[in-house]
């Protein structure tokens, strides 16, 4: 199912209480085609969200791109695992409604994706509301180089991601689940804002580098994905403190989680078998690697059920020749490949 259809599904069928659904509601509709109409009609949006939706269509479109980028990254990071961040509606919609590590990751990466695409759009000059960040010049450089070029205005992307994704109705404010979602959204945004890097360029006669100018840029989104995946691995299970005001780890021998850590309250299922309530589709039919002891190996992937192998014939271009000038001529070769799948 393509992402558009997936969002459309959420828009029409899910009565999801999650804050993120604020975003899904907005982007999940034919909004991209008719933003005005949807912004006016959509009662699920809070005042602030409706404002952004109406006045800042371009930003909402960038948020949609951010969500897409986030899901692609999630699928990359989890490709060899039992839960592979599939957007199949039966799974993804459930994952969003629970409160497991997987939920935490999806929220964080989505919030990060929105920071990333909105900020990038500012730097490219495709939004009216923002441009490159010009305040960076005030921060001193070490004399070896000078600030110059376009600095990514991450604070703008951060602010928009927060405005749009953290919005919630007041009555839910004290709710544990809401607290955790807001925390994980923030962890995602920080995974970009706190890891800005510097790119530089040399000027001067060839190779002399007499003058070097540098600009601040966001980390690659792949690095952000990897960082959040590490946070997923070390996520903290929490409950609410007795006074109901803060989140505490269940095991108080563990050091308290920081703002950049991911939090959850619910143990994940093992994702071996289909379990509807938990968004697990099971691993039957998943491809695996026969002799590997890793996560992608059949032993772990198939949860001890074993696997089957089938031979398929594949046709590929081969023995390609470059003919002057400019043609490439290939032959078609047929080979037999073995596909291994979990029972």
Q: Using an 8 Å Cβ cutoff, are 232 and 204 in contact?
A: no
The residue among 101 and 286 lying less far from ligand NAG, judged by its C-beta, is 286
Q: Which residues are CB-neighbours of 275 under 8 A, at least 6 positions away?
A: 269, 282
Whether the upstream peptide bond of residue 107 has omega within 30° of 0, thus cis, is: no
Tokens 């039919």 locate to 285
Q: Does residue 340 bind ligand NAG (CB under 6 A)? A: no
The residue among 32 and 72 lying less far from ligand NAG, judged by its C-beta, is 72
* Binding-residue total with ligand NAG (CB under 6 A): 5
Shortest distance in whole angstroms from residue 302 CB to ligand NAG:
11
Segment contacting ligand NAG (CB under 6 A): 164-172, 175-183, 184-192, 281-289?
281-289
Q: Which of residues 223-242 bind ligand NAG (CB under 6 A)?
A: none
The residue among 165 and 281 lying less far from ligand NAG, judged by its C-beta, is 281
Q: Which two tokens stand for residue 123?
A: 């730097």
CB atoms within 10 A of CB 230: 13
The residue among 69 and 136 lying less far from ligand NAG, judged by its C-beta, is 69
Reference 217, options 124, 109, 111; nearest CA is: 124
Shortest distance in whole angstroms from residue 32 CB to ligand NAG:
25
Q: Which residues are CB-neighbours of 337 under 8 A, at least 6 positions away?
A: 311, 312, 313, 314
Question: How does strand 236-240 pair with strand 263-264?
Answer: parallel
- Helix (H) or strand (E) run with residue 311 in it: strand 307-323
Report the chain's C-alpha Rg in angstroms. 24
The residue among 211 and 314 lying less far from ligand NAG, judged by its C-beta, is 314
Q: Does residue 18 bind ligand NAG (CB under 6 A)? A: no
Q: Which of 236, 278, 283, 288 binds ligand NAG (CB under 6 A)?
A: 283
Shortest distance in whole angstroms from residue 134 CB to ligand NAG:
43
Shortest distance in whole angstroms from residue 88 CB to ligand NAG:
7
The residue among 39 and 342 lying less far from ligand NAG, judged by its C-beta, is 342
Q: Does residue 281 bind ligand NAG (CB under 6 A)? A: yes
Reference 268, options 255, 256, 279; nearest CA is: 279
CA distance linking residue 288 with residue 310, whole number of Å: 12
Q: Which of 29, 184, 286, 302 binds ligand NAG (CB under 6 A)?
A: 286
Per-position x/- string for 70-99, each x denoting binding to ligand NAG as judged by CB under 6 A, each - no binding: --------------x-x-------------
Q: Using an 8 Å Cβ cutoff, are 285 and 338 in contact?
A: no
Binding residues for ligand NAG, per CB under 6 A? 84, 86, 281, 283, 286
């Amino acid at each position: 199912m393509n992402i558009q259809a997936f969002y459309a599904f959420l828009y029409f069928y899910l009565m999801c209480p999650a804050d993120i659904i604020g975003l899904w509601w907005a982007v999940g509709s034919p909004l991209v085609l008719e933003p005005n109409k949807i912004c006016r009609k959509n009662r699920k949006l809070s005042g602030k969200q409706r404002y952004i939706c109406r006045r800042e269509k371009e930003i909402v479109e960038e948020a949609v791109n951010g969500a897409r980028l986030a899901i692609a990254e999630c699928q990359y990071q989890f490709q060899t695992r039992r839960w592979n961040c599939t957007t199949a509606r039966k799974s993804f919609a459930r994952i969003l409604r629970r409160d497991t590590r997987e939920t935490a990751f999806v929220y964080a990466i989505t919030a990060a994706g929105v920071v990333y695409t909105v900020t990038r759009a500012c730097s490219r000059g495709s939004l009216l509301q923002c441009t490159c960040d010009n305040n960076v010049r005030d921060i001193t450089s070490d004399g070896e180089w000078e600030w110059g070029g376009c600095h990514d205005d991450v604070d703008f992307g951060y602010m928009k991601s927060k405005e749009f994704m953290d919005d919630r109705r007041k009555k839910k404010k004290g709710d544990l689940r809401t607290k955790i979602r807001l925390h994980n959204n923030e962890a995602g945004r920080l995974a970009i804002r706190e890891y800005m890097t510097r790119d530089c360029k040399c000027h001067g006669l060839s190779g002399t580098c007499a003058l070097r100018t540098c600009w601040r840029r966001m980390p690659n989104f792949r690095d952000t994905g990897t960082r959040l995946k590490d946070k997923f691995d070390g996520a903290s299970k929490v409950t609410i403190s007795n006074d109901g005001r803060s989140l505490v780890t269940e095991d108080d021998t563990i050091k308290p989680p920081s703002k950049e850590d991911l939090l959850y309250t619910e143990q994940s299922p093992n994702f071996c078998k289909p379990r509807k309530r938990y968004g697990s589709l099971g691993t039957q039919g998943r491809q695996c690697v026969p002799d590997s002891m890793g996560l992608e190996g059949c032993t772990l992937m198939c949860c001890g059920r074993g696997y089957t192998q089938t031979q398929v014939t594949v046709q590929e271009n081969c023995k390609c020749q470059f003919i002057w000038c400019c043609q490439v001529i290939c032959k078609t070769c047929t080979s037999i490949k073995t596909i291994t799948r979990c029972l």
